[in-house]
């Protein structure tokens, strides 16, 4: 039996408290699996008096997480403070520089500073583990870094934000508005008081940028992602999708193309019979397409104290199992210095086509103008449906296109808008037929 692995936890919110509690509850089993005990030796939190459901009286307390990170009391620094700058960045960097292993659930930190931190970890010969940063309890990082060695990944995509998936699921199941679903998600704790980061796709984009680096050996590029959230999804879109045989999901997609790497986050219509369409509520799902294995789909809890804590503990256990002198693998699957500059792919045709919803004035010449704009941009239509809108003077027009480019669709819709025929903001959603 080896010496105890001494863990320092910075941040004792929902996840941090769950980590401490689960380490205590599963201590005997972890000791058997890892060959050594794992002990919470030190913690850092703003409020020492708060009851977190676990006895931390034996742990050394630090007011400053940076001091904890550099402390001789610990072997592993667990960063659960959050945020891409400030205490989170300073403490992780300090821990790595001091030769401490690091475990973090902070996707924003990794998306912005992952390359810098990976370089330090590799120089110091320590581990930087981050399973909990992407898709909660789903072991996608370990799968991509280790289990898929030898495979060439062509595409990775999935549902990476439980808040958005919960809202879209309820909108479809109960026929209620986006605003009402969001308010309910906030009451249940699935959405923050300020939900912008989730519903506008930023959270998904940060996670996708990490997966892109792992999949394609490129430097993390969170600012090179086409980004669109779900705040403009309406019941009209949900109903129309169902009638056409689709379900709307917020997907993050990264794929290799001849001209570079394509990264995008946006609402997507997927066939209701597809596996990804069956992922409901706060559940996450990640699909990985490779040359050898084909398609691998993993689904599971994407958020919450226990799901995230499970991933954190798995990362701590990996460190406990490692031994001095062991050569650790690179943080992002390849040495940080060998990660290639990110090359954004050129705009290309989208095989699944597009769903376009227009609310137009009920007057002569409107359909002819719409058809002309589509033809001018070389867009072929698979179907066109007209139905009554809320006002007697309006009509809703739903177009489904054949394969075309994002640029062509946006240009056509812009032209229709300039023609003055629209009475509401147009809606454009990609259709993914292969999912």
Q: Which of 207, 249, 340, 395 is catalytic?
A: 207
CA nearest to 93, candidates 72, 74, 73, 65? 65
Q: How many Å apart are CA 374 and CA 104, to the nearest integer?
A: 48
State which H helix or E strand residue 265 sits in. Answer: strand 260-271
Instruction: Respond yes or no: is residue 207 known to be catalytic.
Output: yes
The DSSP letter of residue 159 is E
Place of tokens 């940028």: 209
Task: Work out the angle at residue 396's Cα, subtended by the Cα atoms of residues 395 and 397, and round it to the nearest 5 degrees.
Answer: 115
Q: How many Å apart are CA 85 and CA 67, to the nearest integer?
A: 16
What are the distances in angstroms from CA 351 to CA 32, 120, 189, 240, 403?
51, 42, 38, 20, 5
The dihedrals phi and psi of 186, each to the nearest 5 degrees, come to: -70, -40
Chain Cα centroid distance, residue 69:
27
Q: 268, 169 in Cβ contact below 8 A? A: no
Q: 300, 136 in Cβ contact below 8 A? A: yes
What positions carry a catalytic annotation?
207
């Amino acid at each position: 039996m080896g010496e105890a692995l001494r863990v320092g936890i910075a941040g004792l919110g929902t996840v941090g408290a769950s980590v401490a509690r689960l380490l205590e509850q599963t201590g005997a089993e972890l000791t058997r699996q890892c060959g050594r005990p794992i002990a919470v030796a030190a913690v850092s939190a703003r409020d020492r008096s708060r009851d977190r459901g676990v006895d931390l009286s034996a742990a050394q307390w630090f007011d400053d997480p940076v001091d904890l990170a550099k402390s001789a009391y610990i072997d592993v620094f667990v960063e659960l403070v959050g945020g891409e700058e400030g205490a989170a960045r300073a403490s992780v960097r300090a821990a790595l520089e001091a030769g401490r292993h690091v475990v973090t659930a902070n996707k924003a930190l990794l998306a912005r500073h992952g390359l810098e931190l990976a370089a330090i970890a590799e120089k110091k010969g320590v581990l930087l583990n981050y399973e909990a940063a992407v898709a909660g309890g789903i072991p996608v990082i370990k799968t991509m870094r280790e289990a898929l060695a030898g495979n060439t990944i062509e595409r990775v995509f999935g549902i990476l934000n439980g808040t958005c998936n919960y809202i879209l699921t309820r909108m479809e199941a109960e026929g209620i508005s986006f605003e009402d679903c969001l308010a309910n998600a906030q009451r249940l704790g699935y959405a923050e008081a300020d939900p912008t980061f989730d519903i506008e796709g930023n959270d998904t984009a940060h996670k996708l940028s990490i997966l892109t680096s792992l999949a394609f050996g490129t430097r993390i590029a969170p600012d090179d992602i086409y980004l669109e959230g779900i705040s403009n999804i309406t019941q009209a879109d949900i109903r129309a999708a169902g009638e056409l045989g689709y379900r709307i999901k917020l997907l993050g997609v990264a794929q290799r193309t001849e001209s570079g790497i394509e990264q995008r986050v946006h609402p997507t219509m997927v066939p209701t019979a597809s596996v990804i369409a069956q992922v409901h509520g706060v559940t996450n799902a990640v699909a990985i397409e490779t040359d050898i294995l084909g398609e691998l789909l993993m689904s599971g809890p994407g958020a919450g104290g226990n799901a995230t804590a499970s991933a954190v503990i798995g990362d701590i256990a990996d460190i406990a199992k490692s031994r001095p002198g062991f050569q650790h693998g690179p943080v992002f699957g390849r040495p940080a210095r060998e990660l290639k500059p990110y090359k954004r792919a050129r705009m290309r045709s989208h095989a699944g086509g597009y769903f376009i919803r227009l609310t137009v004035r009920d007057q002569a010449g409107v359909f002819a103008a719409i058809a002309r704009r589509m033809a001018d941009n070389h867009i072929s239509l698979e179907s066109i449906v007209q139905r009554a809108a809320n006002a007697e003077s309006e009509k809703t027009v739903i177009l489904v296109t054949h394969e075309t480019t994002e640029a062509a669709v946006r240009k056509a819709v812009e032209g229709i808008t300039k023609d003055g025929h629209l009475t509401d903001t147009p809606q454009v959603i990609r259709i993914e037929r292969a999912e």
